[in-house]
Structure 1
Amino acid sequence: MAEPTYSFTIPSITDDTRLDCRIYHPNSLGATTSVRAAVIAHPYAPLGGSYDDAVVLSIVETLLQQDYIAFTFNFRGAGNSEGKTSWSGKPETEDYISLVGLAMHYAEQLSTLINQGTGSTEQSIPPSILLAGYSYGSLVLARLPFIDDIVKRFRAATIGTAAAEIILRARTLAKQNITSLDAKPQPLHNTPRGRFPATESDPSTTRSRDLLVVMGGEETDSSERRRSRDSRRSVDKVVRELPGRIKMHAKQLSDSDRKLHRQKDRHGESAMREKARSSSSPALNVKYLLISPVILPFSSTICPPSFVPTSRAGPAYGSAGSQFLRHPTLAVFGTRDSFTSSKRFRTWAEKQSTLSSSFLWQSVDGAGHFWSEKGVMQVLQERITRFVSKEVVVE
């Protein structure tokens, strides 16, 4: 089983809830200028779900073989992540958005640095990102806003907020990774701040910034770090830390903010946010992956009915999940799922495929919800491989 390259924490974008995160690197990283990233969400925490789930780890292994950088995380209330699982699923949606922001900025920064290191003068290929969810993770995935809206939300980050902290953490890890691409992995040892290379010092006893990886803690100085809901500071410092194309867009936002301040417009901040929303977004190739999606009636016991997919006419998940009809999406489920009948799954999946030719699905004979039956995990892995190996075209 693959070992994570980095294990660390980030704050959830809305309320700073600390989340466990991992990044797994493929062996081919650095051999190509194109970067592909995937975020995988785990099952329901109160039922034992976490990023250590066997299906999640199996998906990670499959994606690593397809040269994806894999990001996993614990929702609030799972593992060592702070907080408790919510009834509404809204805070968990913010948790997932936080990881999407981390993956986007990490992939883009890494792509930029790799191109600089190779001396390539060609325009880098836009990063590809796969957003995946298994079981309850698919419910949260369905509630995500469109990728452009997530990009704009991070672009409008102000210093001291969780969004800014996530951007800086992604940048730090990407830079650290570039310096160690040609180095052999070093044994890790446990410290009060996390797991570190055995040859390095524990950052709790040193101020060195040359460690292989930063684990835990925060990127922003404590005097500047503020809770997300209270911060009203300038984006200037974040701008200095942002990579390439995103830096250019954020600088435009910063200039606009200063102009609004000089005009002493009492609605300055709302105008600045509107400016961010209206600006163009960097191109991203996006795919979605749903494994054992939970649909009615079981889903109504863990989240509101308006949140979940049904087998009725109309887009998947009602008002949510419409991104599955706009981007390539694969749903895979078993014929012996203990939470939803195979007939209901088929009715739902067939409806989505009639609404969009980019929505693909497959039922796996004999597979249950947990994919523990003999031979079914291999079928799942093979289907995922076929799906992700096809290139996505940005419209």
Structure 2
Amino acid sequence: MAHPYAPMGGSYDDRVVGIVVDEFLKHGWMVGTFNFRGAHGSKSRTSWTGRPEVEDYTSFAACFIHYMGYLQPYTARSSKTTHGDNLTPGQADTSPIVILGGYSYGSLILKHLPPVSDILRSSASAVSGSATDEILHRSRTLAQQSNTTWINTARSQEREGRSRTQRHEKPSPVIMGGEETTPDKRKTSRDIRRSVDRGPSGDFGRRLRSFSHSHCRRTDDPTPLPQEIVEIAPMIPPRVHYLLISPLTTPISSLAATGLGQKLWSKSKVVFEDITRQHPTLAIYGDSDIFTSAKRIRDWSEQLKKGTPDSLFSSVEVPRAGHFWVEGGAEEALRNALCNWDVVQEVA
């Protein structure tokens, strides 16, 4: 979920971003938030063009999508393999659903991301030591850590007879930082420095949260089970959806990102049809937004809905809601719009 314009205080801790994250977590989703460069103490600074921010989002999306694709959360419950055996995903026939979202400025950047198929294709041909290679290493490492934790926890529960009185621990965020590849493999070219911030304290991909499989072990277990390292299976390609909250319109969109080419609302009809035909998309906006023209979004939405018979685009216009969703009933309406989206209910 991408955040608003950093120079105006936007970051992954934004209130509206938090509302969206909260609703998805309540419905059992795994959620990833991140900071664009220059936001909330992150390195570098916000660009005038918006192009570096597109690279930031692309980098995080690549890492998160690969992380999700490598997860095997259900294998731990049914696996009878021993140490060293390869495990296959318990739901190999079901692709994970990935929703790429953005609020305000974040939605503007989202609309200029390359197609996910292109992101995955680029990852498949990553040069050793490049930023993309680093991202792949990071996602695989995080997924392997999660899979190992899940399977060891499940085996511990089996040993304990899956006691109904077992306590639950609160899920902790996964923190991304540091580096995966060795220093001699990492490149220092301009495109790599641009693509991902790899400092030890960097905020790239700072939080990935999980609301599933968060059981803790009893501390009085006299004979702990051997910890098992899980080998990850090939990544499962995701089903991609898009979520736009209070998307910007001209002239604000042009001022916030001068280098993104054609304005969001004047892209070719073919691009719009292609997006809505292949990927379910939801736009939520208020009719009293000072940064967005409700009429422009309304007309744009109708064009997308009626442009093709198989359009997967939908929109929700909230009366009297502004850009920050602080008006009476606005937050509740935003939450309801998210909850009523069919996609959200798929994992509930």
Residue 244 (structure 2) aligns with: 290
Residue 128 (structure 1) aligns with: 97
Residue 352 (structure 1) aligns with: 304
Question: For 1:326 and 1:86, how far apart are their aligned partners in 2?
Answer: 31
Residue 373 (structure 1) aligns with: 327
Residue 93 (structure 1) aligns with: 54
Residue 384 (structure 1) aligns with: 338
Q: 1:98 to 1:324 in 2, by over 3 A?
A: farther
In structure 1, which of residues 338, 363, 368 is the aligned counterpart of residue 317 of structure 2? 363
Structure that is richer in strand per residue: 1
CA displacement, residues 328-362 of structure 1 (integer Å, 9 cap, x when unaligned):
10001001101123222211211121224211011
The amino acid of 1:87's aligned partner reads: W
Q: 8 Å contact 2:273–2:307 — kept in the other structure? A: no
Question: For 2:248 and 2:32, how far apart are their aligned partners in 1?
Answer: 22
In structure 2, which of residues 225, 233, 248 is the aligned counterpart of residue 244 of structure 1? 233
Residue 336 (structure 1) aligns with: 288
Report how far residue 158 of structure 1 moved.
2.0
In structure 1, which of residues 291, 302, 309 is the aligned counterpart of residue 264 of structure 2? 309
Determine helix, strand or coil for the equivalent of 1:140: helix
Question: For 1:68 and 1:134, how far apart are their aligned partners in 2?
Answer: 18
Q: 8 Å contact 1:41–1:51 — kept in the other structure? A: yes
The amino acid of 1:389's aligned partner reads: V
Report how far residue 89 of structure 1 moved.
1.0
Question: For 2:64 and 2:96, how far apart are their aligned partners in 1?
Answer: 10
Q: 1:320 to 1:225 in 2, by over 3 A?
A: farther
Residue 200 (structure 1) aligns with: none
Question: For 2:33 and 2:119, how far apart are their aligned partners in 1?
Answer: 18
Residue 278 (structure 1) aligns with: none
Determine helix, strand or coil for the equivalent of 1:389: helix
Determine helix, strand or coil for the equivalent of 1:41: coil
Q: 1:345 to 1:215 in 2, by over 3 A?
A: closer
More divergent stretch after superposition (118-127 vs 168-177): 118-127
TM-score for the superposition, normalised by structure 2 = 0.72
Question: For 1:77 and 1:320, how far apart are their aligned partners in 2?
Answer: 30
The amino acid of 1:140's aligned partner reads: I
Report how far residue 373 of structure 1 moved.
1.2
Q: 1:331 to 1:122 in 2, by over 3 A?
A: closer
More divergent stretch after superposition (155-164 vs 171-180): 171-180
Report how far residue 127 of structure 1 moved.
1.2
Question: For 2:90 and 2:288, how far apart are their aligned partners in 1?
Answer: 52
Question: For 2:8 and 2:231, how far apart are their aligned partners in 1?
Answer: 39
Task: Give 5+ residue unaligned stretches, structure 1.
Answer: 1-39, 189-194, 196-212, 232-240, 247-281
Question: Are 1:105 and 2:60 matched, yes or no?
Answer: no
Question: For 2:93 and 2:124, how far apart are their aligned partners in 1?
Answer: 20
CA displacement, residues 45-102 of structure 1 (integer Å, 9 cap, x when unaligned):
1111100100011111111122211010000111132111112111111111111111
Residue 144 (structure 2) aligns with: 175
Q: 8 Å contact 2:289–2:322 — kept in the other structure? A: yes
The amino acid of 1:76's aligned partner reads: R
The amino acid of 1:127's aligned partner reads: P
Question: Are 1:115 and 2:70 matched, yes or no?
Answer: no
Question: For 1:70 and 1:187, how far apart are their aligned partners in 2?
Answer: 12
Q: 1:87 to 1:313 in 2, by over 3 A?
A: closer
Q: 1:184 to 1:82 in 2, by over 3 A?
A: farther
CA displacement, residues 168-202 of structure 1 (integer Å, 9 cap, x when unaligned):
211222222234444965899xxxxxx9xxxxxxx
Q: 8 Å contact 2:273–2:304 — kept in the other structure? A: no
TM-score for the superposition, normalised by structure 1 = 0.64
Residue 277 (structure 1) aligns with: none
RMSD: 3.0
Question: Are 1:70 and 2:70 matched, yes or no?
Answer: no
CA displacement, residues 299-326 of structure 1 (integer Å, 9 cap, x when unaligned):
121123734322x6953xx968953453
Q: Which has the higher contact order (CA 8 A, sep 6+)?
A: 2
The amino acid of 1:372's aligned partner reads: V
Q: 1:243 to 1:300 in 2, by over 3 A?
A: same
Q: 8 Å contact 1:136–1:293 — kept in the other structure? A: yes
Q: 8 Å contact 1:114–1:178 — kept in the other structure? A: no
Q: How does 1:137-286 map onto structure 2 within 5 Å?
A: 137-181=106-150, 182=153, 185=169, 216-227=177-188, 243-246=232-235, 283-286=237-240
Task: Give 5+ residue unaligned stretches, structure 2.
Answer: 80-88, 154-166, 193-229
Q: 8 Å contact 2:249–2:293 — kept in the other structure? A: no
Question: For 1:178 and 1:243, how far apart are their aligned partners in 2?
Answer: 8
Identity of aligned residues (%): 40
Q: 8 Å contact 1:139–1:307 — kept in the other structure? A: no
Residue 197 (structure 2) aligns with: none
Q: 8 Å contact 2:134–2:179 — kept in the other structure? A: yes
